[in-house]
Structure 1
Amino acid sequence: MSDEPQSPTSPASPIAPFPPLPPSGDHSRAPEFYGFVAWTSTSLLFVLFFLWALLPDSWIVEAGIEWYPSREWALLLPAYSVFLVLLTYFVYFALAIHATPSFSDLRAITDSYAHFPEPGVSQDNLYVSQASATGPPQLYDIPIGMVNRVVYSRRS
């Protein structure tokens, strides 16, 4: 092997090198700052929401705030948020059910990527004729009718 540095999981060396490679100096620290700002602002907004919901009106007015939303929104916002999340799950589930083909539809069994051998004499001999004694046979999808005949036929 060569002594030149390799990436930790290259095909030539699938195991991470020891000692670890030094970090490259060309990465940005912007995601760290964005994450800190998001965490700080979310925490601050939660504390303000909690104080607005729980403090008496006289304390809020003494703090110099003359107008603030009605307290019923302290219950409505979380309730609407939970409902919106549940509605989102329901809609995605309903769309997945809608996009699923029925059991009688041919799309439930095969698709446009199925790989069948070239048409031959008969469907049964077609798959046997593709087998080679010198190597592995080609990969093909087996028709569902043939699978059903093999699996569910009566054996004597």
Structure 2
Amino acid sequence: MDDAVRKMREWSPPPPASPSLLVHSPRQTVSHLRRRRPHRDWDPSSGSPSFAARDHGPKPSEVYGFVGSITTVIATAVYLAWAYTPEPCLRSLGITYYPSKYWALAVPSFVIVAVALSMVIYMGLNFLATPPPTSFSTIFDENSRERIMFSPATEEERPIEPISDISVVQTNNLMFGNT
């Protein structure tokens, strides 16, 4: 036994395989990591990493979408089971506390009516914010530009006409002819 104890005391760890991997303090670890060259599985000249080199794993938005879809399916199944299962069957399963069956029809009806009314109110507010059809503000506004007429003397040297609005008179003449 003395030989085993003596061998244990004399034993020393083997020398490290590479001196760069021997780290003694957190500061040396950080400096070692900063000096280390990043490892790439892809050729930088190809432009994009290979499939194996890309980060794997779902994005949070994908996880929330998946969880949300599963939750919606489960909630719909529970709702339909509650709405269509007769009360004696629910009691025989041991379910004694549940909302009144009135709400199985009332809540969806209230939601549909609320959505329809909100659309009607939104369109009504838009009609209230729009000037009446007889108002000149539907024809002219602060950005309207009258067409500039050039004299026939400068007709050959006339530049490109600036952007302007077509007048109502010209539009009526084009559509309905000279009346």
**How does the TM-score come out when normalised to structure 1?**
0.64
- Are 2:91 and 1:61 equivalent residues in the alignment? yes
Distance in 1 between the 2:171 and 2:68 partners?
56
- Are 2:161 and 1:137 equivalent residues in the alignment? yes
Distance in 2 between the 1:152 and 1:28 partners?
63
CA gap of 1:107–1:22, structure 2 versus 1, over 3 A, is farther
Partner of 2:100: 70
CA gap of 1:62–1:150, structure 2 versus 1, over 3 A, is closer
- Are 2:132 and 1:95 equivalent residues in the alignment? no
Decide which structure has the larger Cα Rg and report it.
2
| Count of aligned residue pairs for this structure pair | 131
RMSD of aligned Cα (Å) = 3.6
- Aligned-pair CA distance for 1:144: 3.4
Distance in 2 between the 1:145 and 1:139 partners?
18
Partner of 2:142: 112
Distance in 1 between the 2:95 and 2:114 partners?
31
Partner of 2:41: none
- Asked if the contact 2:150/2:158 (under 8 Å) is kept, the reply is no
Identical positions, percent: 24
Q: What is the DSSP-based 3-state SS (H/G/I as helix, E as strand, rest coil) of the residue aligned with 1:127? A: coil
- Aligned-pair CA distance for 1:104: 1.7
Partner of 2:149: 127
Among 82, 101, 108, which residue is 1:52 paired with? 82
- Aligned-pair CA distance for 1:143: 4.2
Among 66, 82, 91, which residue is 1:36 paired with? 66
Q: What is the DSSP-based 3-state SS (H/G/I as helix, E as strand, rest coil) of the residue aligned with 1:70? A: coil
**How does the TM-score come out when normalised to structure 2?**
0.57
Distance in 1 between the 2:136 and 2:50 partners?
55
Is the helix fraction higher in 1 or 2?
Answer: 2
Distance in 1 between the 2:80 and 2:139 partners?
54
Q: Which runs of 5+ in 2 are unaligned?
A: 1-44
Distance in 2 between the 1:41 and 1:32 partners?
14
Structure of greater relative contact order (alpha carbons < 8 Å, 6+ residues apart): 1
Structure 1 window deviating more from structure 2 (137-146 vs 76-85): it is: 137-146
Q: Which runs of 5+ in 1 are unaligned?
A: 6-19, 118-125
